[in-house]
């Protein structure tokens, strides 16, 4: 299930999949990894629930093994998710008392999303929703800046671009080595490294409390 990142004014990712249990599991994992790359891992719980329900509905109502695609997009302080399939039948939000699990996915959507809907497309339909980010844009910008710094630091040290879990492990190691280098720099400049660390921690805790 390869993903495709599209560079636009906002980050966007297209994840094609087939409506079978194994693919749905991979789709959930890919969604979590993508949100982590965008610096919004705290949105993963709601996104994972929604993706699971939408992808499972494709299997139930379009057919097991049906081709579909999940589009993830970060729009300001929201995450937009679109589930595209080849059926032109739009879903209906039924009453909460309908039998078995009918309408469960849409009720979940309505409960978690700040906005949602379904539209016909040239190839079938798209069910979409937008969920809010659990913290402000400023935190996201700090995360993105840190990732760019660590990637640049890593490439300068190893000249190798890592991917997947190796990338995350490599960034964590780069963070440790970068902090150590900065402490060497503060000592060489006559600063107290403990004082620098204390001030950085104070900044972090103040912003975390305000988020």
Which one is predicted more confidently, 148 or 156? 148
What span, in angstroms and rounded, lies between the C-alpha atoms of 129 and 114?
Answer: 8
The answer to which of 2-6, 61-65, 139-143, 167-171 has the lowest mean pLDDT is: 2-6
Tell me the pLDDT band of 45, cut-offs 50, 70 and 90.
confident
Give the pLDDT of residue 104.
58
Which one is predicted more confidently, 69 or 94? 69
Residue 9 pLDDT more than 50? Answer: no
Helices 164-188 and 193-210, packing angle to 10 deg: 130
Residue 29 pLDDT more than 80? Answer: yes
What span, in angstroms and rounded, lies between the C-alpha atoms of 201 and 122?
Answer: 52
Which one is predicted more confidently, 143 or 131? 131
In the DSSP assignment, the letter for residue 43 is G
DSSP 135-189: S-HHHHHHHHHHHHHHHHHHHHHH-----HHHHHHHHHHHHHHHHHHHHHHHHHT
79-89, pLDDT tens digit by residue? 999 999 999 99
Which domains are present in the chain?
4-132 (3.30.565.10), 137-210 (no CATH)
Average pLDDT of the segment spanning 150-161: 69
The answer to which of 37-46, 62-71, 100-109, 117-126 has the lowest mean pLDDT is: 100-109
All residues at 6 or more sequence positions from 11 whose CB lies less than 8 Å from its CB, including other chains: 5, 38, 73, 74
What span, in angstroms and rounded, lies between the C-alpha atoms of 159 and 199?
Answer: 32
């Amino acid at each position: 299930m390869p993903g495709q990142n599209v560079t636009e004014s906002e980050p966007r990712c297209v994840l094609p999949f087939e409506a079978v249990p194994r693919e749905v599991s991979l789709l959930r994992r890919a969604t979590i990894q993508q949100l982590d790359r965008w610096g919004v891992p705290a949105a993963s719980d709601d996104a994972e629930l929604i993706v699971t329900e939408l992808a499972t509905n494709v299997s139930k109502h379009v057919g097991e093994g049906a081709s579909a695609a999940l589009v993830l997009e970060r729009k300001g302080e929201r995450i937009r998710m679109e589930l595209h399939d080849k059926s032109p039948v739009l879903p209906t939000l039924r009453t909460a008392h309908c039998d078995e699990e009918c309408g469960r996915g849409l009720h979940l959507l309505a409960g978690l999303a700040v906005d949602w809907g379904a539209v016909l497309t040239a190839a079938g339909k798209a069910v979409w929703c937008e969920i809010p980010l659990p913290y402000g844009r400023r935190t996201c910008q700090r995360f993105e800046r840190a990732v760019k710094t660590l990637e640049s630091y890593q490439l300068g040290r190893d000249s190798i671009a890592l991917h997947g879990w190796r990338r995350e492990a490599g960034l964590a190691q780069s963070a440790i080595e970068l902090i150590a280098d900065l402490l060497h720099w503060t000592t060489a400049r006559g600063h107290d490294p403990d004082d620098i660390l204390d001030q950085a921690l104070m900044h972090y805790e103040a912003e975390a409390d305000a988020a």
